[in-house]
Amino acid sequence: MPANPETPGHTSQSVPANNQTLLPSWLAWSFILGLGVAIWIWRPAADASPNGWRLLAIFLPCVLALMLQPIAGGAAVLLAVIATVLLGALDLPQALGGYADPNVWLVLSAYFLSRAFIKTGLARRIALLFIRRLGHNTLGLSYALVASNTVLAGVIPSNAARVGGVMLPLARSLAELYKSFPGPTAGWLGCFLMLALYQTDIVACALFFTGQSSNPLAARQAAQLTEHVAGGPVLLTYGNWLWYALAPAVMSLVVIPRLLYRWERPEIHRTPEAAEFARRELELMGSPKRNERVLTALFSAVCLLWIFGGAEMITAVALTGVGLLLLTRILTWEDIVNERAAWDVFIWYGGLIQLGKKLNETGLLGHFAKTVAAQFDGWNWLALFVVVLLVYFYAHYAFASITVHVVSMYPAFVPVLIAAGAPPALVVCVFAFFANFSAGLTHYGTTPGPIIFSIGYVTQRTWWRVGFLLSLVNVAIWLTVGMVWWKITGLW
């Protein structure tokens, strides 16, 4: 996984949780460089731009480096950007152009905004309020965790920051309050809470534009890949992303805890002490401080402008919000400088955006899409859409990051379906949504997975079994409720 859009600002995880790369470094580099050389030499598409093959010979090895992880993800992208200049694929201003992209600054600003929620304690207060209100029984307690995490997903783009930094400490404290610890007593409460937290977090990632830091990347790719289709590019914003994802996501968030309660039924069914725990913690926090009140008002205004202000305003609004946080001293310049994950995202995100944009401009991806689509000539677009979507979804067994999944498969699969006649807006949205909750398949599907799994409440066998069963549930919901909702909202 890249190092790392999904990790909190105070950590840096560029390798899997066991801190071991997937292959020995020398072997990983052999595959990466071998792939680049092979593409550089092999250029079968005579009618495609020669520069497209040069860029592909840099882009695909970069993606492979993100998967095999012989080096930090940000470093891999930076090396790819440098290679485009040294190998003549781009000149220097073109290679660095991604760092001026508004979406890159939007993600950077969102990280700074989320730091304010954690620093002021407002994120923890929101979670405790839900627990105090809903946490009188075990199922209600799970819904309290789900509701608070979902609200935070609307403001915190790092799923590891909100899960690892806010929600997981609370969930673990609640389990231990009832003497449920990793091991023999995990089934009392802890196993159920951990599964509910993770499996609904990935749905929250799909619900909000800011739910996961790769979502703006998918939106940027969606605009690039539909730039020349009838009706013009598909522009995904905070508002329309939320609107399109709303019905199927809410259904999944409601259904998942109930199914988990049935499949992994905890031995403890009533949890009045949890609500009391939340009440005591809120008393210790006291009434909302000045910084919490200012942040609440400021971010409410930011969200309203995000939803109703249009795509051209979203980054300017986010930057203005950060500026006001600095002026009101809710954030200091040291907070900005020390937000390591944000600057890490800035490096790899800006580089990937530009590589993808320039590769798309060469026409090579369009040529690939037409070639592949021709093999399915005569297929109904809806049947092809479902088949390709399922392949795309279950391919996440091979990925340890939602971001890498999106970078490597989204621009390959989306053009194929558009070329086959599928509605472009439907394709770009659904593939962006599905990449998020495909992370529920395994305990390494996105960064919070290894964090929660390493605590020891859930065995790998249970995690994979539940992950597969819930994948069937999610796919069914999003391809039934979702398709009806997308018809109503005019997505297809």
How many Cα atoms sit within 13 Å of 173 on the Cβ side? 17
Say which residue, 185 or 412, is predicted with more confidence. 185
pLDDT of residue 19: 40
What angle do the packed helices 190-207 and 424-437 form, to 10 degrees? 160
Integer Cα distance of 282 and 130 in angstroms: 11
pLDDT value of residue 248: 97
* Interval 439-454 mean pLDDT: 86
The full 3-state SS of the chain, as one line of letters, equals CCCCCCCCCCCCCCCCCCCCCCCCHHHHHHHHHHHHHHHHHCCCCCCCCHHHHHHHHHHHHHHHHHHHCCCCHHHHHHHHHHHHHHCCCCCHHHHCHHHHCHHHHHHHHHHHHHHHHHHHCHHHHHHHHHHHHHCCEHHHHHHHHHHHHHHHHCCCCCHHHHHHHHHHHHHHHHHHHCCCCCCCCHHHCHHHHHHHHHHHHHHHHHHCCCCCCCHHHHHHHHHHHCCCCCCCCCCCCHHHHHHHHHHHHHHHHHHHHHHHHHHCCCCCCECHHHHHHHHHHHHHHCCCCHHHHHHHHHHHHHHHHHHHCCHHHHHHHHHHHHHHHHHCCCCCHHHHHCCHHHHHHHHHHHHHHHHHHHHHHCCHHHHHHHHHHHCCCCCCHHHHHHHHHHHHHHHHHHCCCHHHHHHHHHHHHHHHHHHCCCCHHHHHHHHHHHHHHHHHHCCCCCCHHHHHHCCCCCCHHHHHHHHHHHHHHHHHHHHHHHHHHHHHCCCC
Is the pLDDT assigned to residue 254 strictly greater than 90?
yes
pTM assigned to the model: 0.77
Tokens representing 159 are 């799923």
Both tokens assigned to 396 = 């996440």
Non-local CB neighbours of 60 within 8 Å, separated by 6+ positions = 35, 36, 39
| Domain range summary for the chain, segments of one domain joined by + | 102-213+221-333
Output the CA angle 204-209-210, nearest 5 degrees.
75
Spatial CB neighbours of 407, under 8 Å, sequence gap ≥ 6: 63, 66, 214, 217, 352, 356
Q: Which residues of 343-382 are buried (b: 16+ CB within 10 A; e: fewer)?
A: ebbbbbbbbbbbbbbbbbebbbbbbbbeebbeebeeeebe
Mean pLDDT for all residues in the chain: 85
Amino acid 146: pLDDT: 93
When mean pLDDT is compared across 45-49, 120-124, 184-188, 245-249, the lowest value belongs to: 45-49
**How confident is the model at residue 433, as a pLDDT?**
96
State yes or no: pLDDT of 5 exceeds 60.
Answer: no
- Over residues 455-480, mean pLDDT: 94
pLDDT greater at residue 113 or residue 417 = 417
